[in-house]
């Protein structure tokens, strides 16, 4: 694992709709390996590797946006109220920190409540950025922020904010770097706004009009205390999606990924995700329909400042995709 690269990817600011900084970081990583690089109107970074005459068009997508917070109101004492960008749970916020695009740091706190045994709602939380009033508050209504959560490795385990889905971006970068001559046209899409509307992948897939689309994203696991019953565990290989809240994976893609995992001699798991979805659910619906599926990196504590993945799962995801592309 290239921890220096993963640190850069996870720590760069990029909540949904504000992907400029992370896009420039990714662009710098891809240029040397691309036949073509472009940015679509909604901000997706599209990297093309040209195949041979008569090859297929295959789209690989990882979203570069992350969940975040957005300031909704600054009170007379300078405290900042906020709403969510994407799936932000109050229990993952309190006691944590958020950082705005200009570097402003806020402590996330909760109001005093009569009954502190219940879970607070987002409206009961606020940010203290060190201001004393509206006038000296550096945060304005509409400013976006992200969780603070540095990357650290503990053995093979990696802990950071935004592994959803910068780990997918990392996997795509590795596949791009290691991909030899290919019979197919491969489009590496670093999509925008996955966490709110899937807008980036949906529109980019429409333009590319691929024969097949594969999202690379995280999925949750069933291996933590009182987790949902789910047959996906950290460190037991990439998960091949069968079904989630938004789609049934196309059998063509699902079976291709299974065949690729076997060819690569990689461990793998079959994923049925009860809550949540990915770019694949939107990409399958463009034009007349695109056979779509998903290769998932198992992750604990998804949408918290301390998401956790296993380095072996990451490296095996790269190997499975490299094995899948020539089989498509």
Q: Catalog residues that contact Zn ion under the rule CB under 5 A.
A: 164-165, 217
Instruction: Name the catalytic one among 194, 195, 271, 307.
Output: 194
Minimal distance in Å, beta carbon 62 to Zn ion? 8
Paired tokens of 180: 């030899």
Pick the closer one to Co ion by CB: 164 or 185.
164
Minimal distance in Å, beta carbon 245 to Zn ion? 13
What is the spatial distance between Cα 249 and Cα 213, in angstroms, rounded to a whole number? 10
Pick the closer one to Co ion by CB: 29 or 164.
164
DSSP assignment, residue 43?
Answer: -
Minimal distance in Å, beta carbon 278 to Zn ion? 6
Under 8 Å between Cβ of 290 and 207: no
Sign, CA torsion 318/319/322/328: negative
Paired tokens of 87: 């799936």
**Residue 217 contact, options Zn ion, Co ion, none, Cβ 5-8 Å cut-off depending on partner type:** Zn ion
Residues 155-174 close enough to bind Co ion by CB under 5 A = 164
Pick the closer one to Zn ion by CB: 98 or 302.
302
Indicate the helix (H) or strand (E) that contains 47: strand 45-49
Question: Please, which residues have CB within 8 angstroms of residue 326's CB and are 6 or more apart in sequence?
Answer: 182, 183, 184
What is the spatial distance between Cα 188 and Cα 210, in angstroms, rounded to a whole number? 12
Instruction: Considering only CA atoms, give the Rg of the chain.
Output: 20
What is the spatial distance between Cα 237 and Cα 261, in angstroms, rounded to a whole number? 9
Minimal distance in Å, beta carbon 279 to Zn ion? 8
154 burial (CB, 10 Å; 0-12 / 13-18 / 19+) is: exposed
Residues 300-319 close enough to bind Co ion by CB under 5 A = none
Task: Judge whether 194 counts as a catalytic residue.
Answer: yes
Minimal distance in Å, beta carbon 41 to Co ion? 23
Show the site string, 65-104: x = touches Co ion by CB under 5 A, - = not.
Answer: ----------------------------------------
Q: Does 271 bind Co ion (CB under 5 A)?
A: no
Pick the closer one to Zn ion by CB: 165 or 185.
165
**Residue 65 contact, options Zn ion, Co ion, none, Cβ 5-8 Å cut-off depending on partner type:** none
CB count in 10 Å sphere of residue 121: 9
Pick the closer one to Co ion by CB: 247 or 260.
247
The shares of helix, strand and coil residues in the chain, as percent rounded to the nearest 5, are 25, 30, 45
> Among all residues, whose Cβ is closest to Zn ion?
165
**Residue 271 contact, options Zn ion, Co ion, none, Cβ 5-8 Å cut-off depending on partner type:** none
Residues taking part in catalysis: 194
**Interacting residues toward Co ion by CB under 5 A:** 164
């Amino acid at each position: 694992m290239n921890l220096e690269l993963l640190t850069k990817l996870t720590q760069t600011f990029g909540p949904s709709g504000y992907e400029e900084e992370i896009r420039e970081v990714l662009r710098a990583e891809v240029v040397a390996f691309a036949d073509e690089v472009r940015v679509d109107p909604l901000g997706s970074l599209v990297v093309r590797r040209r195949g041979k005459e008569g090859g297929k068009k295959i789209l690989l997508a990882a979203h570069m946006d992350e969940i975040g917070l957005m300031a909704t109101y600054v009170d007379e004492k300078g405290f900042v109220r906020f709403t969510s960008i994407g799936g932000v749970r109050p229990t993952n916020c309190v006691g944590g920190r958020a950082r705005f695009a200009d570097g402003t740091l806020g402590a996330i706190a909760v109001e005093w409540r009569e009954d502190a045994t219940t879970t607070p709602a987002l409206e009961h939380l606020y940010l203290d950025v060190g201001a004393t009033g509206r006038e000296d508050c550096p945060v304005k209504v509409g400013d976006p922020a992200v969780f603070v959560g540095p990357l650290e490795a503990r053995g093979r385990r990696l802990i950071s904010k935004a592994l959803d889905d910068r780990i997918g971006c990392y996997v795509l970068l590795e596949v791009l770097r290691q991909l030899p001559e290919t019979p197919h046209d491969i489009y590496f899409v670093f999509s925008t706004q996955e966490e709110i509307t899937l807008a980036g992948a949906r529109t980019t897939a429409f333009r590319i009009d691929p024969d097949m689309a594969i999202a690379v994203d995280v999925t949750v696991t069933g291996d933590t205390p009182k987790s949902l019953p789910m047959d996906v565990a950290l460190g037991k290989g990439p998960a091949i999606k069968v079904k989630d809240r938004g789609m049934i994976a196309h059998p063509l893609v699902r079976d291709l990924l299974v065949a690729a995992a076997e060819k690569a001699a990689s461990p793998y798991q079959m994923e049925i995700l009860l809550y949540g979805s990915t770019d694949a659910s939107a990409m399958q619906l463009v034009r007349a329909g695109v056979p779509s599926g998903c290769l998932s990196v198992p992750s604990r504590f998804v949408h918290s400042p301390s998401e956790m993945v296993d380095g072996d799962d990451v490296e095996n995801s790269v190997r499975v995709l490299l094995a899948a592309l020539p089989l498509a």
